[in-house]
Structure 1
Amino acid sequence: MQTNFTSEQLADPGIAEANSIIRNCVHCGFCNATCPTYVLLGDELDSPRGRITLIKDMLENQS
């Protein structure tokens, strides 16, 4: 997954680690079949892919 963190954001070790984790997701959706919240609720935002997107957006928009 592409990220758009600034160099200042990537100087934060927590954001740098999150960036590495986020970039490993290729958005294939194969994890949905084994995700208990996605299986129960059936909502993409409750899937691992949805959570990664929400976290990415939150971190990228931090000032």
Structure 2
Amino acid sequence: MQTNLSEAAKKLPRAEEAESILRSCVHCGFCNATCPTYQLLGDELDGPRGRIYLMKQMLEGGEVTESTQTHLDRCLTCRNCETTCPSGVQ
């Protein structure tokens, strides 16, 4: 995924790691098949791929809305998505 981190994001301690994760995602959606919140709610933004899009948006300077926060907070951090990711996104 092509990224263009904001100047503020570039100053974050783990900016390079975040950019690497964003660039690794190939948008295949395999991760959604193992994500409990995506399975339950069926909303793209409640799955790993959608959350990566939201994180990208924030790191590129987009506004963090209440909706954005809600979708990110719904992640259970179970890491099931990692088991099906062909790109090795962690």
Q: Per the shorter chain, which TM-score range?
A: 0.7 to 0.9
Share of identical aligned residues, percent? 66
**Root mean square deviation of aligned Cα:** 1.9
Deviations 1:6-59 (A, max 9, x none): 577435431211000111100000111101110010000001011001111111
Unaligned runs of 5+ in 2: 63-90
**Deviation beyond 4 Å, 4+ runs, structure 1:** 6-9
2:22 maps to amino acid: I
Residue 53 of structure 2 corresponds to 53
Q: Higher helix fraction: Structure 1 or Structure 2?
A: 1
- Map residues 1-63 of structure 1 onto 2, 5 A cutoff: 1-5=1-5, 9-10=9-10, 12-61=12-61
1:36 maps to amino acid: P
Q: How many residues align?
A: 62
SS in 1 for 2:14: helix
Q: Answer 1 or 2: higher relative contact order, Cα 8 Å, separation at least 6.
A: 2
User: TM-score, structure 2 length as denominator?
Assistant: 0.60
Unaligned runs of 5+ in 1: none
